[in-house]
Amino acid sequence: MTPEHHSIDISSQAFWDSTFDERERSFARLRTEAGPTWHAPLPADFPYTEPGFWAATTHQDIVYVSKNSELFTSAEGVAVSPMPKEPQVAMSFFLTMDPPEHTIFRKLIAAAFTPRQVKRIQHQIEQTARVIVDGLIGAGDVDFVSACSSLLPMHTVSDMIGIDQKDREPVRRAAEALFGAGEEKMATDVDSLTIMLTQVELLRNAAIEIAEARRRKPEDDLMTNIVQAEIDGHRLTNDQIGAFMILLSSAGNDTTKQTTSHAMLGLARNPEQREWLLADWDGRIGGAVEEFVRWASAVMSFSRRATRDTEIRGSRINAGDKVALFYCSGNRDASAFGGTADVFDITRNHNPHIGFGGGGVHYCLGSHVAKTQLRALFRELLTRTPKVEIGEPVWLKNTFVHGIKHLPAHFPA
């Protein structure tokens, strides 16, 4: 039997329209419950039948579910919001697969990321970070999000795929719309889904065109490796390459962009931490980047479905029930991060954050690429723009991405 919806509301539009800190107060209360709690579905503008979801809000429960893909499947979708089935599957590729199918695709992709390619990507990231910050020095008043945060992830993903300069802006827009963060809320009504699917088509076709060109004439790039990769007799088809590129551009773009904005704001509000970091850059930037990712929790949630009746710390989960993994809550859990869980602190030395997921087979494939970008960009920003002033953020209202829409900044001459 399904229990009643919990009295603490984490489902209404009003809840998701409130601030991260206000929402965190509700999550903090849920974390004290005996086990995951049952809630009403999140808002959606189309008919759906799902009765609700279990909220995993503690660090421990999120890690447990993430690491047990046999018991908690991704194959029926990973959004917490109700989503129509078809477009979601078309867009998410191996994000919504389970082993053993998932394993084959992860291996195929991993085979393309040779040390040589990783080095090449790193070099491109460092160069692009330098050019972005060149443009900021003396720029005066700018919106940090559009003038900085959004640029490096877009160029990185486009460089990885091999997308032409002229096509990059439409690709960024498509990826953002896909991820749901371009709008005030997730694109869950029929019209916005149609627009989204048109953009998906654009991304897919761009990727397939490049893949075919590399098959005809191989180059020294990631796409060439992707079309040539082979695991257990499997190679990626055009459709699969298209789907991977859609996943890469949606998963790799807005996440890193939002983390950049949150980190900039965190450092601006804590100038003593900025000084601490600059005093030993090489020794401290690694830990600082982990804190950027924890603090930002750019992806607030994903979900799984129980494959059979089971139990998590006393909560009885039925086969087919949706279990939401609130990374944003797990990343503020004092049992994992101690009494300073709710403060930005780049000096923390124990940081088992779940910003890239709770471990397990779907752990973020781009975590190294993301961290390389954050390192490269903040090195340029902190060493070359020491007098930047940061204003008050305009927050994005969204149920999935923890976002900053605008962040006023002043870069003096």
Binding site residues, ligand HEM, CB under 6 A: 66, 94-95, 106, 157, 247-248, 251-252, 255-256, 259, 293, 298-299, 302, 327, 355-358, 360, 362-366, 369-370
In angstroms, the CA 301 to CA 331 distance is: 11
In angstroms, the CA 126 to CA 134 distance is: 12
**Which one, 73 or 273, has the nearer CB to ligand HEM?**
73
370: its two tokens:
């993301």
In angstroms, the CA 191 to CA 75 distance is: 25
**Which one, 149 or 411, has the nearer CB to ligand HEM?**
149
Give the distance from CA 22 to its chain's centroid.
22
Smallest separation, CB 244 to ligand HEM (Å): 8
Which residues does residue 299 pair with via DSSP β-bridges, in sequence order?
401
Smallest separation, CB 160 to ligand HEM (Å): 6
**Which one, 6 or 305, has the nearer CB to ligand HEM?**
305
Cβ atoms of 242 and 132 within 8 Å: the answer is no
Map tokens 């206000």 to a residue: 22
**Which one, 4 or 70, has the nearer CB to ligand HEM?**
70
**Which one, 299 or 381, has the nearer CB to ligand HEM?**
299
**Which one, 26 or 149, has the nearer CB to ligand HEM?**
149
Q: Name, in order, each residue with C-beta under 8 angstroms of 37's C-beta and a sequence gap of 6 or more.
A: 6, 8, 30, 54, 55, 57, 315
Cβ atoms of 377 and 264 within 8 Å: the answer is no
**Which one, 6 or 317, has the nearer CB to ligand HEM?**
317
Smallest separation, CB 154 to ligand HEM (Å): 11
Q: Name, in order, each residue with C-beta under 8 angstroms of 165's C-beta and a sequence gap of 6 or more.
A: none
Smallest separation, CB 94 to ligand HEM (Å): 5
Smallest separation, CB 379 to ligand HEM (Å): 17
Measured from each CB, the residue nearest to ligand HEM is 366
Q: Name, in order, each residue with C-beta under 8 angstroms of 180's C-beta and a sequence gap of 6 or more.
A: 186, 187, 398, 400, 401
- For 241-369, strand residue ranges (E) read 301-306, 310-312, 315-317, 322-326
Smallest separation, CB 410 to ligand HEM (Å): 26
Smallest separation, CB 54 to ligand HEM (Å): 16
